[in-house]
Structure formats: C-alpha cells, structure tokens
Structure 1
C-alpha cells in the first residue's frame, strides 16, 4: 500500500480548511484552526494560498478593541461554475453550482430504458448540460468542470465506465466521449457521490460512520467509516445490491441469482407485485418511474395489494440492511434515490419495524434509519464536490474528501486514502 507522505498531509489540510468553511460559513483564521485542529500558522499559510487562487475572499474585517483586526473569510462563489450530472438508466439530471456549491440552474432529460447505445446516453448528457447552463456563451465560459456520475463500475482516474450491467456496457470511455464539451470532466459512481453529499451536507456533521442506500432501478450503498469515504481497491466498494439475499433466487441483471437488487430495485418491485396480484393494473405501466409513482399514489388511496407490496419489500430491504449493519457496524443509514423518495413515507417505518429481526443486538442499539435530508439531487451535489476537488488539484490545492481532520500522520506503509480521488501529480503544490 502507498506510503502516507508529508505532501499528502499538506494537501489534506488544505481541503480540511475549505470543508470547514462549508460547515461554519464565514470564519476567521482562528475559528478555522479550532474547528480543524490545525495550528494557526498552518491555517494562515493555507488561507493565503486560497486567497491568491481566488477560492476565498474576505467577507468582513472585524476590529476588536485592543486587538488586531480579524478578517472573516468565505468561499468565493463567483470564482467559477461547476456542473454535477446524475446519469441513471431512466434520466440525466444536470445541476449548475457556484463554487460554494449553491444551485444556480437545473435541467433533466428523459432516457429510454430500452436504449443502451453509449452515443445515445452521451447525447442525453450533453443536452442536459446545455439545458442547465443555458445558451449564454459567457456563462458557459465560466464552467470550470463537469462531474458525471455513471451507474455501475467506474474508474475515475481513467474516466471509464468499466461495467454497467443494465446497459451491457464494458470499458466505455465516457470522458473521451465528452471531449467536445471542451471542459474538464470528472467521472465517478453515484454511490461515491451520495456518500460524499451525506458526509458534507447531511448527517456527516454529526457522525463519522454511515451508509447511504440508493434505491432506484439499481440499488447500492455509499459507505463512510471513521470519516473516510470507502472506495475499495477498484472503486467498486458499495455494490451491496449485488450481495446475496436468496440462494438461487430471482435472476439479477448482473448475471447472478438472488441479489438484493432483484428484490428492492424498481424492477424487483414490479416482480413482487406480479407475485402478489398477477392481474394488477399497475403492471401495465412500462416506465419504471411511472410505475413507482403510481405505487405511491395507490398506497395513499388504500390499495391492499400495494400495501402488501410495501411490507414485503420492507422485509427484503431490512434483511439486506441487516447484513450491511452486521458487517460494518455503522450507526446510521440514510435512504436516497428516486424510488426511495417516492415510497419513503410507508417504506421507512416498515423497514424500522423489521430491522430487529435482522440486526445483531449489539449493532441495533442506537441504529438510525431515515430518509436523507441532503437537499436537491444528492448525486449531482456529490459530483459537484468531487469536481471542486479536481479544480483545486489543477490549482495545486487538492486533497482527499474527509469529514474530520486527521490529527497525526499514519505510520509508514499504512494508507487510509481509499476514499480519495487520484492524488495530485508531482507539479502540484
């Protein structure tokens, strides 16, 4: 494993200061030092770098009686624009953010569930970005980066969609296919994006270890342990949807049988309803999102078959979450994704009722399961944050994504950098 170097620690310290400003808002150097645990001298040096790069500006100068004036610093939102893009099997959602990750614009393009040609999907990505940014050439010139989340296995350092089972994609070079944008592109997986959003803008301000379960066409879990985003050796950590729920069970799109996804993903809900009531009229709904939205409406209207569907799905989901909690011992699980949002009012309470049957007592005490409170599209927000990190890399100001400062260097030969995007090159500051 790579040695944790002094360069890595300095780079991480830079990002700790920036993240502190997201948490605290306008802050003095002294407040940033207290929040991050870094020395005042280190914070002063890093703030100078940020100011010179235009990433921060001085929001106010406070003159205290008998002391030196204190500058209150904040992120400079107009330093540039970042586009976060959430690509799913049924849609592309593009969101324009300022440098402080405030939302400025949004556009969504529907995708045909049966169409899987890369050129078709890339066209949808470009149209969504065009719609979000608008026709203003001046505004487009201010975009400093685009973060694109692709379903399935992704290699961020190569910009490659390694394997997307629902589209039968293998080694599709998304970054190269988007070269005509003439804007730096960063590609990653939605599970990594949603956990980063939760770490920065959700429960990560209160807990260091958590899982974010994304429910849609597919399902998966973003994982953070001790404040670090978990990627795994090949960026494939979190494919919880392809863990086993039932031996020799339903066929899964990954090629195995009995995966969690085959029971709690949107197609799995349709299969369960067909088992409960083969003649149910909702089974005629072809589009997945329409189907799930009609399920939510039917639940509100008291449809008994749909009530059974939610209870059975909650049992499947609780069993899968039980395995996740028993393995990782995380104290907090949030549910996100379009299917989760549509069904949360009925699904989440039912899952909570089921969990005691599946979670070991030692991990059950204090376990929280709730819908995510991250505003807007958590995938697009996480991709914008990753893209901000890449922008800082180009300025020589990058570091891995974390939620808490690391007080001491790790011993030689030890690395906890599985949650990082690729390290800056030798020319980085």
Structure 2
C-alpha cells in the first residue's frame, strides 16, 4: 500500500505472475519434477528455470527428491519443495471462530487449532486473545515449536490494508483502522501478515482448486459475511484499496432488508447466515432452529432439517437458492467467468442441497452469451481454504525475507 491506502501498482502479491512462484506453483501441480518439466509447465526458459532452481536450492527451499537416468545420457534431478525447511501458520478469523493451521513449507497440514468467538463480542483484546490461543493449539497439535515458525498469515473479516497491517473496517465488530498486525506481532513475536479472506480463498482456489483448470473464476464465500474473490486471466483482483469483491454489499432488492453495512437490500442480507435466519423467521416464526443462539448452530440445524425433509427448511433452501442465483447471475454477467465456486463454512454445511438448486435456477439470471460452459460447484480445496491461502501469502513473505521474491511482472489489478 502507498500512503494514500492504494494497492501498489507493482507488487509481489500476484503470485502466479511472478517467475519464482510460477516454479513453486508448478511443483505444487506436478510434484517432484525435472528442470525441463518445470520449464515446459511454466513456459519459462530453461535458463530462467535453472537460475531460479539454483537460488531455491542454495536457500534449502528445494531439495533433490531423486536422481534419474534415461538411456546413456547424464542423470537428471527431480526437484521438490523441502517441507522441513520451515513452518508457516495460516489463520482464518471470522466473527464466530478462529481456525489456525500449521503448514510445512510445502503447505502440507501439520496441525490445527480452533477457538470459538462470541459473535456479539467485539473487543480488540478479545479477538487477539482468540487468535493467539488458536495458534498455540495448532502449534501443539502440529508437534512443532514456536521457534520453528517462520511467519503467520492472518485473514481478518472486512476491509483490510495488507501493506499497512490495518483492519480498516470490520462491520460486525464496528472496528475502524485497527492496527491488527502490530497487535499480533507484539503478542506472537513472529512476522505477521494480514489480508482479507476473499483474497486468501481465491489464491487457494488458484493454486489448489478450480484454478488448476481455468484462469478466471469467482470464488463466493458464504458465512456470516458474504463476498466474492475474483481471478481474471490468472491475476488476483484486489482493486485500488484491496476492497474488490464486496459483492455481498451489492444491491439485490431496492429498499429491502437492512444490512449490517448500513444499507438496505444487500445480497448479504438474503444469503448470509443472518439472512437465512430472517427468511426462516418469516416462513415459520416458531421454528426451533431459530432459538439456538449461534449462527453456526442455526446452519447445522438447517442441514439437519434438510436431511429430515422439514418442509419449512426445504422452502428456506429454495428461497435462498433463488436469491443466490439472482445475485450470482449479476456477477457472471458482469465478469463473464466460466467457473463459480462456493466456499466458506456455510457453503460446506449446505452444499449438497444448495449447489444443485442454484444450478437449476441460474439459467434464468445469466445472459445467453455468458451461460455456455458456466460451471457452479462447491470448492474442491481441502481443509480450510482461507488458512491455506494465508499460508501461501506468508510463504511469499518468507521468501522475500530470504531475498527470493521480486516484484511481479503483472501490475496489481
């Protein structure tokens, strides 16, 4: 970020457009590979790949996994990311929970820790305590020590300036310009990088999900908050101030339901967790799922009701699918992306019913020119996609400290 809060136009954030990360991304895709295979997969020259591999080897980031020979020629090396080179923590912070995941340098999961948050509590100290506790649990579960951690990536809800380490605005907590990176770095005594969950889930989808097959997609996160991460032609779209993707606060109904952002009729007010509660309350005011207190408990009860054939819950699902399909239609018509993936804790709980219902409804809302080949699916990324994306961002920061990261060729979008 520059002093005006704008995303720098030359940045290493666009990991797939930077040469070193092209090599790493190829290794995540291919597994142990030769220099020739990496060059073919990335489109980089053999000389460039050889140079980059030499740098990675010198810092212990890559290792020689095997040495092979074909015919009578010289043997060649199969290279792999050395998982033992370091430990990285990715943290997903939402209004109702904190999940911390310890990864090795190859982004394999070693251990996870979780802390429930009271969605009505908004104190900075309370949230920081939850993050620190979740990280401690993950470190213990991963069989490692804090001394082995090379960096921590923390996703914060709402508008985040990653360059400044500031939570600019978190509407559910009424946070304004909280220097969250400084608060966490002081408590953890470790390098900390903060970002927004929409950017994290999109990166994880680009590296480990639908992005293996397509370069453009929308990654729709459904939970307490609602938003869309966007990738176009392999570039992660951040916008001028890292606030791109606030699709949840676009208009679904003029003068409709009040939204926590202060406007009325936002997409989030209909397809976020609180929106589902509002819809069910209108359908069946005395439904037992409405008296459970927490959003995650409510959504779990909705899933149970769908399994049991509860008619009120079935109608709730049908209405939510119509709301979501209408809003996704606007998104697809605007961006003309071929793939939409649904992610987030609420998506995971309801995907078996929600995805088919949205697929059936979506053709009514998408222009014919954008409909051919359009795919809507639950995210295939395993585990916590936000934590994984934050670990990948933190891997970038770690390599920068080693002197192995350079500005991206493509400008920030």
SS in 1 for 2:18: helix
**Does the CA contact (< 8 Å) of 1:11 and 1:398 recur in 2?**
no
Structure 1 pair 262–87 and aligned structure 2 pair: CA distance change class (3 A): same
Q: 8 Å contact 1:77–1:98 — kept in the other structure?
A: yes
Partners of 2:123 and 2:290 lie apart in 1 by 27
Whether 1:395 aligns to 2:402 is yes
The alignment status of 1:20 with 2:15, answered yes or no, reads no
Per the alignment, residue 423 of structure 1 pairs with none
1:46-84 Cα deviation digits (max 9, x unpaired): 100000111001111112332111011000000010000
The reply on whether 1:301 has 2:308 as its aligned counterpart is yes
Could you tell me how far apart the structure 1 residues matched to 2:194 and 2:280 are?
35
What is the Cα deviation at residue 201 of structure 1? 0.2
| Structure 2 counterpart of 1:351 | 358
Displacement after TM superposition at 1:176 (Å): 0.8
Work out the CA distance in 2 between the residues paired with 1:57 and 1:44.
14
Cα deviation for residue 417 of structure 1 reads 2.4
Candidates 213, 221, 224, aligned match of 2:228: 221
1:265-284 map, 5 Å: 265-284=272-291
Q: Distance in 2 between matches of 1:10 and 1:374?
A: 17
Shift of 1:4: 6.5
Q: Partners in 2 of 1:367 and 1:15 — Cα distance? A: 28
- Candidates 55, 60, 78, aligned match of 2:84: 78
> What does residue 68 of structure 1 align with?
74
Question: How many residues align structurally?
Answer: 404
2:394 aligned with 1:372:
no
Q: 1:285 aligns with which of 292, 297, 308?
A: 292
Paired with 2:10 and 2:152, the residues of 1 have a C-alpha distance of 29
Shift of 1:247: 0.5
TM-score scaled by structure 2? Answer: 0.94
SS of residue matched to 2:221: strand
Q: 1:400 to 1:35 in 2, by over 3 A?
A: farther
Deviation at 1:365, TM superposition (A): 1.2
Match of 2:265 in 1: 258
* Conserved 8 A contact 1:15-1:400: no
Show CA shifts across 1:189-227 (max 9, x none). Answer: 000000101000001110000011000001100100001
Match of 1:55 among 47, 61, 68: 61
In 2, distance between residues paired with 1:187 and 1:386?
9
Deviation per CA, 1:226-270, whole angstroms, max 9, x where unpaired?
Answer: 011100010000010000000111000001110000000000000
- Report the Cα offset of residue 86 of structure 1: 0.3
Checking the alignment, whether the CA contact within 8 Å between 2:336 and 2:370 is kept in structure 1 is yes
Q: Which residue of 2 aligns with 1:386?
A: 393
Equivalences for residues 90-101 of structure 1 within 5 A: 90-101=96-107
Distance of 2:228 and 2:16 partners within structure 1: 30
**CA displacement at 1:3 relative to structure 2:** 7.5
The root-mean-square deviation of aligned C-alpha atoms, in Å, is: 2.0
Where does residue 182 of structure 2 map in the other structure? 176
Query: 1:416 offset after TM fit, Å?
Result: 3.1
Residue 417 (structure 1) aligned with residue 412 (structure 2): yes
Q: Which one of the candidate residues 118, 125, 128 is aligned to 2:131? A: 125
* 1:109/1:127 contact within 8 Å kept: yes
Give the deviation of 1:136 after TM superposition.
Answer: 9.4
How much has 1:399 moved relative to structure 2? 5.0
1:30 maps to 36
Q: Report the CA distance shift for 1:317/1:399 in structure 2 as closer, same or farther (over 3 A).
A: farther
Which structure 2 residue ranges, 5 or more long, are not aligned?
A: 1-6
Alpha-carbon distance in 1 for matches of 2:259, 2:405: 39
How does the TM-score come out when normalised to structure 1? Answer: 0.91
Output aligned runs, 1:106-121, within 5 Å: 106-121=112-127
Is contact 1:11–1:399 with CA below 8 Å preserved after alignment? no
Deviation sequence 1:128-162 (CA, Å, 0-9, x none): 00000019996221100000000000000111100
Partner of 2:151: 145
Distance in 2, matches of 1:334 and 1:9, equals 20
